[in-house]
Amino acid sequence: MRHKKNSVKLGRSAEARKALLSSLAGSFIEEQRVTTTLQKAKLARIEAERLVTTAKRALASGKPEVMLAAKRKALAVLRKRAPMQKLFEAIAPQYKDRQGGYTRIVKLGQRGGDGAEMVVLEWVNLAPVDKRRKPKQDAAGAGAKDEGAKKET
């Protein structure tokens, strides 16, 4: 019987679920914003907030052995070095004065194919997503136009 077993299985085996959440948390840390289903976002949010708290405690201690242990713990969850480094260098110091609640979930509506509830998982210091407009292409579009204008003159 499954009495008091309230874990979400996502229709996957334990290994597949662990790999999915590891990948989703790593992408979330690297990209700072991830679009996914509501249930996956809720589970990835738990994982990401735990990692930020671990990194904050290690940074606050200032001890190299505590820092090393925390980095190894984060690497065991994320499985990649790049998101782990970004977590310790950029994200955790940003939330040093915050007591929790580092992420937000913004609902986008239902997916067309199967009707799953789609959401954006993002860090709280980012601007909220406007559901009516698509994000502007400022870095790629503006840089190419300026370079072309400079070459002609």
CA trace torsion 63, 68, 69, 73 (10° rounding): 140
Domain count for the chain, please give it: 1
Q: What is the pLDDT along the chain (153 residues), one digit of tens a residue?
A: 879 888 889 999 999 999 999 999 999 999 999 999 999 999 999 999 999 999 999 999 999 999 999 999 999 999 999 999 999 999 999 999 999 999 999 999 999 999 999 999 999 987 666 666 665 666 555 555 555 555 554
| Residue span of the structural domain in which 117 resides | 14-152
**Which residue in 29, 24, 27 sits closest to 43, CA to CA?**
24
Give pLDDT, residue 4: 86
Q: Does any domain span residue 7?
A: no
Q: Does any domain span residue 41?
A: yes
Give pLDDT, residue 31: 93
Give pLDDT, residue 66: 95
What is the CATH classification number for the domain harbouring 44? 3.90.1030.10
Strand partners, 104: 122
Burial degree of 132 (CB within 10 A; 0-12, 13-18, 19+): exposed
Q: Does any domain span residue 4?
A: no
Give pLDDT, residue 141: 56
Q: Does any domain span residue 6?
A: no
Q: Does any domain span residue 5?
A: no
